[in-house]
């Protein structure tokens, strides 16, 4: 997984740097270069990298690249390289790679992406325990389906994620001290036939998902 992020970082950095021919544009790019260099999201330096990626400077760059690279906005090639697909992909990778729950612990989808867990089958059920993680996984699945089409696997995962049994388990910042009284019932409900089928398929396809997304985003 880290290897895929390294490829993505290299592509993103080289695409911008190679086109930064004007000194004023290159100078501005140098100020945000670490926002792209840290996309590797390595397991060992994950916390440090996410701290950089979610900083005010990098957040501003990711949300609106030309608010930072104002000297580059007249360059048609750079403008194309840093278009909506670039922004959407970086936002998506941040959701997948730097999402935390209400206690600032990595969300299940993040643990999977950075390689702490290689089992995608429990990502939905574990995400149900946190509203922040449920929201992050919803966004992850939405973006996945946007790129790959509304695959039945991911549709079923979203159905499980948004089902009452999952929502009742969620811990949010406003009710972090509350526990669901129906915990045992929720566990039973979460093991429906549909969710089992979705998880089985996800287990097979999950490890291939990011490579597909990266290839799609940068090669079309």
What confidence score (pLDDT) does residue 148 get? Answer: 75
What confidence score (pLDDT) does residue 36 get? Answer: 74
Q: Is the pLDDT of residue 66 over 70?
A: yes
Alpha-carbon span 134 to 128, nearest angstrom: 6
Alpha-carbon span 99 to 136, nearest angstrom: 7
What digits encode the pLDDT tens for the residues 136-185? 999 988 888 887 777 788 888 899 999 999 999 987 644 544 444 444 44
What confidence score (pLDDT) does residue 56 get? Answer: 92
What's the N-to-C CA distance of the chain in angstroms? Answer: 21
Closest of 44, 186, 199 to residue 119, by C-alpha: 199
Mean pLDDT of 72-85: 80
Q: What is the mean pLDDT of the chain?
A: 71
Alpha-carbon span 94 to 88, nearest angstrom: 10
What confidence score (pLDDT) does residue 161 get? Answer: 92
Of all residues in the chain, what percent carry a pLDDT higher than 70?
A: 64
Residue with the bigger pLDDT between 205 and 25: it is 25
What confidence score (pLDDT) does residue 96 get? Answer: 81
Task: Write the DSSP assignment of the chain as a string of letters.
Answer: -HHHHHHHHHHHHHHHHTT--SHHHHHHHHHHHHHHHGGG--STTHHHHHHHHTSHHHHHHHH-HHHH-GGGTT-HHHHHHTSHHHHHHHHHHHHHHH-B-TTSPBPHHHHHHTTS---GGGHHHHHTTBHHHHHHHHHHHHHHHHHH---HHHHHHHHHHTSHHHHTT-B-TTSTT---TTHHHHHHHTT-HHHHHHHHHHHHHHHHHHHHHHHHHHH-
CB-based contacts of 42: which residues, under 8 Å, 6+ apart? 2, 5, 49, 114
Q: Is the pLDDT of residue 9 over 70?
A: no
What confidence score (pLDDT) does residue 38 get? Answer: 61
What digits encode the pLDDT tens for the residues 172-214? 644 544 444 444 444 444 444 444 444 433 433 343 344 334 4
Is the model's pTM score more than 0.85? no
Q: Is the pLDDT of residue 114 over 50?
A: yes
């Amino acid at each position: 997984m880290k290897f895929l992020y390294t490829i993505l970082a290299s592509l993103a950095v080289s695409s911008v740097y190679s086109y930064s021919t004007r000194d004023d544009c290159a100078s501005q790019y140098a100020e945000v270069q670490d926002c792209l260099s840290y996309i590797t999201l390595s397991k060992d330096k994950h916390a440090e990298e996410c701290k950089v990626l979610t900083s005010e400077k990098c957040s501003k760059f990711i949300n609106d690249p030309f608010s930072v690279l104002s000297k580059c906005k007249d360059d048609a090639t750079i403008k194309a390289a840093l278009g909506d697909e670039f922004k959407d992909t970086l936002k998506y990778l941040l959701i997948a790679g730097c999402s935390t729950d209400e206690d600032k612990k990595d969300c299940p989808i993040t643990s999977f992406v950075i390689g702490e867990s290689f089992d995608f089958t429990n990502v939905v059920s574990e995400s149900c325990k946190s509203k922040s993680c449920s929201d992050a996984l919803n966004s992850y699945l939405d973006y996945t389906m946007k790129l790959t089409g509304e695959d039945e696997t991911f549709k079923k995962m979203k159905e499980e994620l948004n089902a009452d049994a999952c929502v009742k388990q969620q811990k949010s910042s406003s009710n972090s001290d509350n526990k669901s009284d129906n915990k045992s019932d929720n566990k039973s409900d979460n093991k429906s036939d549909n969710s089992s089928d979705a998880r089985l398929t996800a287990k097979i396809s999950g490890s291939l998902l990011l490579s597909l997304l990266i290839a799609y985003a940068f090669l079309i």
